[in-house]
Amino acid sequence: MAGVGVVAAGALVLSGCGNPYQSEVVEGTEINTAYNEGFMAFNSNSSAGNNTANANIKYLTDSASSWAYYDNTPELVKNTDFGTYEKTSDDPLTVDYKITADAVWSDGVPIDEADMLMQWAAMSGNVEGGWGPAATTGYNLITATPEVGEKEITLVYDEPYVDWELIQPLGVSAHGTYALAYPDEYADVQAAWDTYQSSQSDDDFTKYTDAAKKFAEGAKEKVISAIQDGDTEVLTALATAWNDAYVYTTMPESPAAFLTAGQYNLLDTKEDEYTTIVANPLFTWGESPKYEKITVRAIADSTTALQALQSGELDIWSGQPTSDILQLAQSIDTAEVQQGIQASHEHVDLTVNNGGPFDPATYDGDEAKALKVRQAFLKTIPRQEIVDKIIVPLQSDAVVRNANLVSAADTVRYPVLTEANGSADYTDVDIEGAKALLDEAGVSGEIEVGFWYPEGNVRRGQEFELIAASAAKAGFKLVDQSEPNWVFTDPSAEPVNPHDATIFAWSQTSLAVGGSDQIYACYDDPAAKGGNYMGYCNQEVTDLLAELNVTADADKQTELLTQAETLIWADAVTIPIFQFPGLTVSSKNVTGVKQMPLSPDYFWNFWEWAPANASAE
């Protein structure tokens, strides 16, 4: 899952120069990469699409149309090839964004202020319609409708948001979302697209883009007017399309559902198998890619992936390895192996609002009883055994992670938080302590726990077996509820998480200070719960994390983090296990592959990938 990071912001460096664009795509080239899960949604900003596998594809297709990105140092790099942003006031915090490139969507429609304004509407939580973003952090502090000009937008914050430079006011297209909300109005464009699909002629492609531009003129005006005037009917239709119409695992009929804003266009996708993108002929700004096509295959089994790489069917792979997988990777003579620590951490969450064993409602609203049951369960999780058996063989100095809000890489804050947060109560498995807590709660007999992990993930399957064996000693019976599609993360499909416990990782996408409220804050509306799939609500934690988002003083930030961290441990709703060991394996037939600690992992510099011994044509 793609989550917001909680480490100090990195330095800024400038990128690029003003030279005219020259394509470096090598005709006829294709590269096959892999990830352990398949693409399932094109809008990675929505709750339904908030998944690293989706974010990877969106990065490949749209990252050229962002104002900044992280390199693998990691440092934040300004993307001046696309546009500029400038803080023009501290009180109130005011930031101006301008698109300076002649940037267009993949249908030839200019990227402009309508797209930026709709991103604010969707992400802020301050616009009617029922938008379901994965996170509103930062955007929620912009309550006044932003002023827009030609390819410009001005964001004015109610409070001084500490991570303002990480706000990127662009997501899916405004006119494409309008088309998905009102498909009848899009009929002429759809017909032109269908004709082009049949002929693949340049003339028919031009007719398609001409029809799209004509449609977009009116559609963009309607989007802007609806947001500025508060037109609930149109906003509801737009929000519904934004939430739902970009969720798919096979290519949709409407091209409006896959409009891209960068080096590549979406060509094909097949559920749990692959997603293929192709060089965008309309891309003329930013860094040119070298490969004409990139296919990202969904391969959950690491052995299968490495066998494919060894046989030449795969060029790049990164996954969740075991010691056997590392040995296999190192035995491939034709591969380069890169190891490192990733900014992702494994954890177990307990659901507190689904009528299960960790929900107070199960005990007639008795919060204290439910808390003891949760504490008892967490005491059975063999974190040290998991690290010793699964992670240490990959990373000899691996240790158990004991903080939720910061990683051990934060050498200043991590010791402070872990000393105070109460994690010491869960250092070792304590079966007798767990039984004592259950006795105190008056809970006897076998306690059934529906436990989810992503089906096909070998490492998490091993973790499940270790947890199940340990928990059984205290009277917990784990029921395997694994499935591959992360359905519980989609509020439109499952507003309440049906699983009692889930195990997955939060992957940092940035070095933000704040943002943890998307996971741990109270949410009244299930459609706007961000990444809080537990149903967790502690108002004091919510308030502390909200204050953190607007606190610039480093010492005060540490104080707020420590208070929130301690309360989260006291509520026994989640427990961290380990930081991810990174493993990236690439064929020697491709150059430019560089490991990256943050999401999107090795995809971060895809434009630098090149066929070995090949030259651009």
DSSP state letters, 176-245: HHHHHH-GGGGHHHHHHHHHHHHH--HHHHHHHHHHHHHHHHHHHHHHHHHHHHT-HHHHHHHHHIIIII
Domain 65-251 belongs to what topology? Answer: Dipeptide-binding Protein; domain 1 (3.90.76)
Low-confidence ranges of the chain (pLDDT < 50): 1-18, 615-617
The confidence score (pLDDT) of residue 485 equals 87
pTM of the predicted structure, to 2 decimals? 0.86
Residue 348, beta-bridge partner list: 503, 575
The confidence score (pLDDT) of residue 322 equals 82
Q: Are 448 and 479 in contact (CB under 8 A)?
A: yes
Alpha carbon distance 286, 303 (integer Å): 36
Estimate the crossing angle of helix 202-229 against helix 174-181, to 10 degrees: 90
The confidence score (pLDDT) of residue 614 equals 60
What is the Cα 169 distance to its own chain's centre? Answer: 16
292 SS3 class: strand
The sign one gets for the Cα dihedral 71, 73, 76, 81 is: negative
The confidence score (pLDDT) of residue 36 equals 87
CB atoms within 10 A of CB 486: 22
Q: Are 293 and 277 in contact (CB under 8 A)?
A: yes
Task: Look over the chain and give the mean of its residue pLDDT values, rounded to a whole number.
Answer: 93
Read off the pLDDT of residues 406-445 as tens digits, 9 standing for 90 and up.
Answer: 998 889 999 999 999 999 999 999 999 999 999 999 999 9
The confidence score (pLDDT) of residue 8 equals 28
Q: How is the chain split into domains, by residue range?
A: 65-251, 342-579
- Using the 8-state DSSP alphabet, how is residue 337 labeled? E
Q: Are 135 and 192 in contact (CB under 8 A)?
A: no
469 SS3 class: helix
Tell me, yes or no, if the two domains 65-251 and 342-579 fold the same way.
no
The confidence score (pLDDT) of residue 466 equals 98
Q: Which two tokens stand for residue 236?
A: 């509801």
Q: Are strands 26-35 and 291-298 parallel, antiparallel or unpaired?
A: parallel
Q: Are 463 and 453 in contact (CB under 8 A)?
A: yes
The confidence score (pLDDT) of residue 452 equals 98
Domain 342-579 belongs to what topology? Answer: Dipeptide-binding Protein; domain 3 (3.10.105)
Of 275, 335, 226, which Cα lies nearest the Cα of 41? 275
CB atoms within 10 A of CB 203: 10
The confidence score (pLDDT) of residue 212 equals 98
The confidence score (pLDDT) of residue 439 equals 98
